[in-house]
Each structure stands twice: as structure tokens, then as C-alpha cells.
A and B are shown apart, each in its own frame.
Chain A
Amino acid sequence: METNKFIRQLTVFVENQPGRLADIIGILSEGEIDIRALSVADTTDFGILRLIVNHPNQAERELSAAGYTVNQTEVLGIGIDDQPGGLHVALEALKEANISVEYMYAFVSRKVGTAFVIIRVADNAAARELLQSKGVRILNGEEL
């Protein structure tokens, strides 16, 4: 099974200080890195910035060089029709299989009528197999 079926997400640990987000996005912009999707989780003390970009390795290098703590995590991307109920099939399947979703975020694709959803679960391979069996379209990195 080819691992490029998973999507590489960059995760940046951000201590809560004014200007941090602007700084990070600025670094990516200077490196001419295209941000495909982004989500921020925040607590009172820190934030976690999750990014899908076109050149994850380059982005990781440049952010690390600027002193940021960056990880790459493999996440699952699914494509669904942009209409009511599209996401429900996928989540219902995960629920029935007792696979819990750590976090997820969605964005609309450039292709009209399709939405992309990024899902983080403990076991990517199992979730992928399950979703595929339910007819959910699994995305690879290039499609984003």
C-alpha cells in the first residue's frame, strides 16, 4: 500500500504571544509556499497551527530555521460532494467502527462542488480501509 495516500500535515506549536501567527504565515509567504488548508486549535497557553501546504519539507525547514517547533503528521483527507449529508456517511462509518476523531477541519476545493475534509485518527490505515469500503473518496497529496 502506498503511503502517499496519506496527506502530510505540518503542525506548528505556537506559544500564545501576539504576532506569532503573522510571523509564521510571513515566513511561508516569503518562501512562496502555498497554503492549501489551515486550522488553529488554541488553549489559554498555547496554540497549535495545522497546515497543509504544497511543499511540506521546505516549509518545515524554513519554519524550523526561524526557531519554530514543527512536526509532520500524516492525516487522512477525504473528498465529499459539497451538499448536505456528504460528511455524515464518513463520520457515521468511523463511529460504527469505534474510531474516534482527534480533530478535523474542512475546506472547499478549487473544483466546484467538492469539499475536502482532513481527519486525524489514531490509526490512519484502518480508517482509510474502512472509508474506502464505504465508497468514500480518499485524497492523495497532489489532489489538494
Chain B
Amino acid sequence: MGKTYDKMETASLDEIQAYQLDGLQKTVKHIYEHVPFYRSKLDDLGILPEDIHSLDDIQKLPFTYKQDLRDTYPFGMFAVPKKQVARIHASSGTTGKPVVSGYTQNDLDMWGRCCARAITAAGGSAADSIHISYGYGLFTGGLGLHEGARILGATCIPVSSGNTQRQVRILQDFGSDILACTPSYAAYIGETVRELGIDPHTLPLRAGIFGAEPWTEEMRHEIEELLDIKAYDIYGLTEVMGPGVSYECEEQHGMHVNEDYFFVEVIDPATGRQLPEGEQGELVFTSLRKEAFPIIRYRTRDLCRLSRRPCSCGRNFIRMEKPQGRTDDMLIIRGVNVFPSEVESVLMQFDNIAPVYQIIVDRVGALDTLEILIEMKEGFAFDVVRAVEAQERKITAALQSTLQISPKVRLVSPKTIKRSEGKAVRVIDNRKLYK
């Protein structure tokens, strides 16, 4: 059994649920009184805050969709006067208007506790240096983990993202114990360590906390090998809070949801009905203690399962598996559903290609095309054309048997696909179906 940050993590289910019900009742009252958007929705449904008697009653409440958050841009969902808002974050807004999230000082402390639990679960303590290479700014990654390191009392190294050689120098010179960034950036830092001729065994770094983009088990092994560390997953989203909504323990079998702060459901995305534990559906979160930007039944579009099975780490918080893919990320190519995570799983099984790839979807005439660019590893014996083509054919065959459609695989030179210092751009869809 590993260390936990606080007693709440190991509280009994009864205790957790009693605390959750209290939080739910207060949150519903809070939004009813302070957020006109929710008040009119509840009025339409004829529900009053007093109607919430049990956690099951959450099913009476309406869902919140990303579009609702865009429609109320920027501050329409805030439940406290602006002067009580201590900080504002926002999503990048690449797919539309950004989602704006506000935090009171209490909210920031709560967020910090969530992330402190995540750092502790990754084996960190107040004695460690936490090297944060998530971007600092409106993006929740950098400052979220920063709050965690602060609340934990650890030494925080706020490097932010970018300048990868300097990241490596700091890992060496400052002796960072735990690295926090996106998994794709961790792989890039690992590559750079190798390129600079540094043996990762000589670095004090022993663990990493990686999230903010989907990644596979295979990518985890790749990063663990590159940096000689243990890699932990962390989950979160700006709409709900930021990183730390759930986090992995040493068991690495699903992420524990911070249930004292968030109520999690899995629903059937078609009917909206709650699904029993263990069934796959869409993740839905309700905040239970947030003041500035409370959220009710937010539809994440992430597909996953929940499990209440006891965990060897001693935490009683429910576990969610690594989301299989965001429904938004799913590509429909020639009528077949393709998750980029499936592509990554297949690619990582090959040794002589790098963990860097790009998926390019296009439409020629009426036919969708799927092209996958993959970097060769340094030292690949490409002087024989047949060797390159044989490798491409092997990868194509493996992808075809998993995806059920045949991609065009192209090996490219090492270091030619642009590295990301934050969230990697893995998919380029040139079909422009919605324009």
C-alpha cells in the first residue's frame, strides 16, 4: 500500500457518499440561486434544489454540454461575483469559442489538493522537486500541477513548455524528481536526453505525471524506457476543473476520481441513461464543491468504464479506465470508426520506428484516404529500398487488421514530423466536411 495525501482517499464508501450528497445539495442550491442558465433549465423541468434527496436524484438534473459553455462565453456560468474570482483559465478554443473557467481562492486550494493527491500517488512527497513542463498560462496544465506542488509543500520548478534542451539541463542541474507534462512532450524530452548523449539512469528523475491528451499503454512503456522512470496518468478537463479530476496510483489500473469533489457517472450517449458500473459509456461529471464555476452533469464525450473494485493502494475512490477515446476524436473513414489511440497502439509494437506519427485524412473524389506518416528510428538501415518497403508493408498489414481499413503508410526521416511541446497534433483532417 502506497502513501496517500489525505484520509479522504481511504474513507469508506458510506462516508464518501454522505459527503457527496451534501456537496450535491449545496451545489444545486448554489447554481439555482446564482446561475440564470441553470435556474431556467431547472425551472423548465420543475425541479427545486429541495428535490435532491439522494445521489440517485442527480438523474433528475439536466446535462451541460460544451455548447452551453460557449453560448454563455465568457462568464455566464460563473456563480460568484467577479471580485471573488481569483483566477481565470480557458481552453484553447481550437474547435470553437474557448471555454472559460473561473476559480475562487477556495477552488484553487481544492484543485491543489486534487493534484497533491496525484503527485503523492505517483510516489512524490514534500521532499521532492516537481518539474512542470506543461504550458503556463490560460491552459490549466501548468498552473494546475503548480497548485498541487504548492499545496503538497514540494519544491516547484515552473519550467513551462518549450526550449527542450534547457528542460534537459534543468533535469540534470536541478535534480528534478518528478516531471509533469503532456505524454508527447515527455517523449520529446526523452529523445532529447538521448540525443545529447545523456544516460537517463544518471538523472535523479524517477516518475512522471502525464496527461491532457490521449495516450496508450504502449506509449507509456516507450516513455518509461526513454527516461528510465515510472509514468503515471492524470485526467482532467478545463470544463470540470483541469488536471487532477482523476489520477493514477501505483497499481496503474485506472485512475481514481477525486470523488469528494466530483460526482462521476457513465451514461449511454444515445439515451442519456445512467449505466451500471463496468459498462462502457460517456463520462459525465458534476462538481460538488466548486464555488466560482460549478458544473452539473457535464458531458465529456470521453468513452470509458468505471470500477468500484477494491484497489491494492488502499484508496476507495472509484476508478475510471483510461478513456478509450473522445467521441470528438473519433474519425469516420469510409464509414469505419477509427480512434487515433488504436493507431498508436499498433505503431508502438514496432521497434525500429519512433513514437512520432501523424494521421492524415483526406478525400479524393468520393473516397476517404487515410495516410499515416511514421518516423524511422535513427540507425534504420534504409539504404536498401526493399527494407523500407517491407517495413511499410508490415505496418500496413498490422494496422489493417486492427482498423479494418487499409491505410497508406509512409516512413519518413527521423525528426521531420514537428514535435509538440504541449498537446501533439496527431490528426490532420483535410476533408473539410463541415464547411
Contacts and interface: CB of A to CB of B under 8 A. Distances in A.
B379 A102 contact: no
Nearest to A68: B413
Contacts of A67: 415
Most buried by B among A46, A48, A102: A46
Contact of A48 (B383, B415, B416): B383
Contact of A50 (B381, B383, B410, B414): B383
A22 interface: no
Contacts of A46: 388, 410-412
A15 B385 contact: no
Interface in A89-132: 102-103, 120
Nearest to B412: A15
Interface in B354-376: 376
Contact of A69 (B376, B385, B386, B389): B376
Contacts of B388: 43, 46, 48
A46 B386 CA distance: 12
Interface in B382-418: 382-386, 388-389, 410-416
A48 B382 contact: yes
A48 B385 CA distance: 7
Given A45-B410, A69-B413, A71-B379, A120 B385 contact: no
A73 interface: yes
Interface string A41-57: 10101101010000000
A11, A45, A103: most-surrounded residue (chain B CB, <10 A): A45
B384 A102 contact: yes
Interface string A67-87: 111010100000000000000
A13 B382 contact: yes
A11 B413 contact: no
A15 B416 contact: yes
A73 B413 contact: no
Interface string A4-39: 000001010101000000000000000000000000
B413 A15 contact: yes
Nearest to B387: A102
B383 A11 contact: yes
A69 B414 contact: yes
A138 B326 CA distance: 61
Nearest to A49: B383
A46 B376 CA distance: 13
A71 B383 contact: yes
Contacts of B416: 15, 69
A102 B381 contact: no
Given A13-B413, A15-B412, A43-B389, A71 B381 contact: yes
Contacts of B379: 71
9 contacts: A45-B410, A46-B411, A48-B385, A69-B413, A69-B414, A71-B379, A71-B383, A73-B381, A102-B386
Interface of B: 376, 379-386, 388-389, 410-416
Interface of A: 9, 11, 13, 15, 41, 43, 45-46, 48, 50, 67-69, 71, 73, 102-103, 120
In order of increasing CB-CB distance, the 7 nearest A-B pairs are: A69-B413, A11-B383, A102-B384, A73-B383, A41-B385, A13-B413, A13-B382
Given A41-B385, A48-B382, A120-B384, 7 more contacts: A9-B383, A15-B416, A46-B410, A67-B415, A68-B413, A73-B383, A102-B386
